[in-house]
């Protein structure tokens, strides 16, 4: 990832916050010399290892499972909020651009075979989402039936060896221009744009301290 110094996010708390808030990620490995990507929900445990550990699962039929089971390098990309920035918002001349926040997590994968840890990982992965939207009157899958379905999936863990945050938030523009962009995005009514505005505002607050 191209990472100019002024866009590099070095606050580990902000990096973890982005991962936790945007768990639907892109997992990239190499298949016969060609990049292969799967889009899936991932669970990040910051306390498991020096840089944390990522957990997830694939369908057994997914060819990416082969690369993950061999202990090959893997890259997980967590996509944060993003928004278009018009040069007409600046006080001084500029060019069209896109503001965004993203985290790249590189590491080495290992498979999770045993039924008990695989089932526990699935519970941790889905619980934060399901508790928000589950229908209390809807049918529940018996634990015994769920365990019978485990052979159809491939569980994995990726011990993170490198965690890189890129928060491209107009840091290369003047404070006045940043404030103008924050104002425009904050008034857009678009949740993604408003989230970018909040990240930009946090940057300015930290810079003043």
The answer to whether the beta carbons of residues 194 and 184 sit under 8 Å apart is no
pLDDT-based confidence at 78, cuts 50/70/90? very high
Q: Across the chain, what does the average pLDDT equal?
A: 92
The answer to whether the beta carbons of residues 98 and 84 sit under 8 Å apart is yes
**How far apart are alpha carbons 81 and 21 in whole angstroms?**
10
pLDDT-based confidence at 200, cuts 50/70/90? very high
Strands (E), the chain: 8-9, 24-31, 34-41, 43-45, 53-59, 73-85, 97-112, 153-168
Position 135 in a domain? no
Q: Which domain covers residue 97, as residue numbers?
A: 5-130+144-171
Position 191 in a domain? no
Higher local confidence (pLDDT), 132 or 172: 172
Position 48 in a domain? yes
The answer to whether the beta carbons of residues 15 and 163 sit under 8 Å apart is yes
Region 96-119: mean pLDDT is 94
Tell me the angle at which helices 191-208 and 175-186 cross, rounded to the nearest 10 degrees.
150
Position 183 in a domain? no
pTM, 2 dp: 0.92
Position 74 in a domain? yes
**How far apart are alpha carbons 163 and 168 in whole angstroms?**
16
Q: Is the pLDDT reported for residue 208 higher than 80?
A: no
Position 42 in a domain? yes
Position 64 in a domain? yes
Tokens of 53: 């550990």
Residue 174: predicted pLDDT: 94
Q: In CATH, what number is assigned to the domain containing residue 116?
A: 2.30.110.10
Q: Is the pLDDT reported for residue 209 higher than 60?
A: no
Q: Is the pLDDT reported for residue 125 higher than 60?
A: yes
| Residue 26: partners with Cβ closer than 8 Å, 6 or more residues away | 37, 38, 39, 76, 77, 79
Number of domains in the chain: 1
Position 51 in a domain? yes
């Amino acid at each position: 990832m191209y990472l100019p110094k002024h866009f590099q996010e070095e606050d580990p708390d902000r990096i973890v916050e982005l991962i936790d808030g945007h768990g639907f990620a892109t997992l990239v490995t190499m298949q016969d010399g060609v990049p292969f990507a799967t889009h899936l929900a991932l669970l990040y445990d910051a306390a498991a290892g020096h840089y944390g550990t990522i957990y997830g699962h694939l369908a057994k039929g997914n060819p990416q499972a082969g690369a993950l089971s061999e202990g090959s390098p893997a890259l997980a990309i967590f996509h944060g909020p993003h928004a278009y920035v018009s040069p007409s918002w600046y006080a001084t001349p500029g060019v069209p651009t896109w503001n965004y926040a993203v985290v790249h997590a590189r590491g080495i994968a290992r498979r999770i075979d045993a039924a008990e840890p695989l089932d526990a990982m699935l519970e941790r992965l889905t619980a934060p989402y399901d508790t928000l939207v589950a229908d209390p009157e809807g049918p529940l899958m018996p634990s015994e039936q769920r365990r019978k379905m485990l052979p159809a999936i491939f569980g994995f863990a990726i011990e993170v060896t490198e965690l890189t945050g890129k928060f491209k938030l107009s840091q290369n523009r003047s404070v006045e221009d940043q404030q103008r962009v924050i104002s425009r995005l904050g008034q857009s009514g678009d949740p993604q744009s408003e989230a970018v505005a909040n990240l930009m505002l946090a940057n300015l607050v930290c810079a003043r301290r």
